[in-house]
Amino acid sequence: MTTTATGRSLVRMKTLRRYITLAISIVAVTTQVLAADFGDAKDVKQVRKMVAAKFGHALHASVSHDWALCTAYTAHSSLSVVLHRGESGWKIVESDGGAYAEENLKGLGVPQADIPALLRAYQ
């Protein structure tokens, strides 16, 4: 390989790295912009912060009264997280690799009136 060919290879590698960085940035920004949250903004912020601290990244959050459902993802998987607010604040009740349905939420003690609002996290 000549010096000129090596120089061109380095330029191509730098250009490729720039495109990859740009693509990752676009995906990250788009994910944050498209994330739809439902419920009181203060509660959503607290829920997202707690889920991000435990699992890495909070994607969508729905809060209804003292219950919350949040989708999250780690480097290895995506999951759903159910939280309940008690006297001491929000606590994670359960997390699962799948989606929660109405029956699952009822089984956790979520009032029927709160379930439709929580399931908006999946929309």
Residues 6+ apart with CB under 8 A from 48: 37, 58, 61, 70
Helix (H, G, I), strand (E, B) or coil at 28: helix
- Which whole number is the average pLDDT over 16-21? 69
Share of the chain above pLDDT 70, in %: 78
- Per-residue pLDDT, 101: 86
Please give the torsion angle defined by the CA atoms of residues 18, 20, 24 and 25, in that order, rounded to the nearest 10 degrees: 20
In a shared domain, residues 16 and 74: no
- Per-residue pLDDT, 75: 78
In a shared domain, residues 98 and 45: yes
In a shared domain, residues 24 and 78: no
In a shared domain, residues 15 and 55: no
- Per-residue pLDDT, 93: 93
User: Token digits for 119?
Assistant: 């399931």
In a shared domain, residues 43 and 17: no
The one-letter amino acid code at 92 reads I
Q: Could you give the CA distance from residue 99 to residue 15 in angstroms, rounded to a whole number?
A: 40
In a shared domain, residues 60 and 1: no
Burial class (CB within 10 angstroms; exposed 0-12, middle 13-18, buried 19+) of 118 = buried
In a shared domain, residues 23 and 53: no
Q: DSSP strand E in 74-112: where?
A: 78-86, 89-96
26-76: pLDDT as tens digits: 554 444 445 578 899 999 999 999 999 998 889 889 999 999 999 988 878
**What domain range includes position 18?**
1-34
Q: How many separate domains does the chain show?
A: 2
* Confidence check: pLDDT of 88 > 70: yes
* Confidence check: pLDDT of 19 > 60: yes
> Which pTM was predicted?
0.67
In a shared domain, residues 84 and 113: yes
User: Token digits for 47?
Assistant: 């829920």
In a shared domain, residues 100 and 54: yes
- Per-residue pLDDT, 73: 85
In a shared domain, residues 86 and 57: yes
Across the chain, what does the average pLDDT equal?
A: 81
* Confidence check: pLDDT of 83 > 90: yes
In a shared domain, residues 117 and 97: yes
Q: Could you give the CA distance from residue 32 to residue 35 in angstroms, rounded to a whole number?
A: 5
In a shared domain, residues 48 and 104: yes
Share of the chain above pLDDT 90, in %: 38
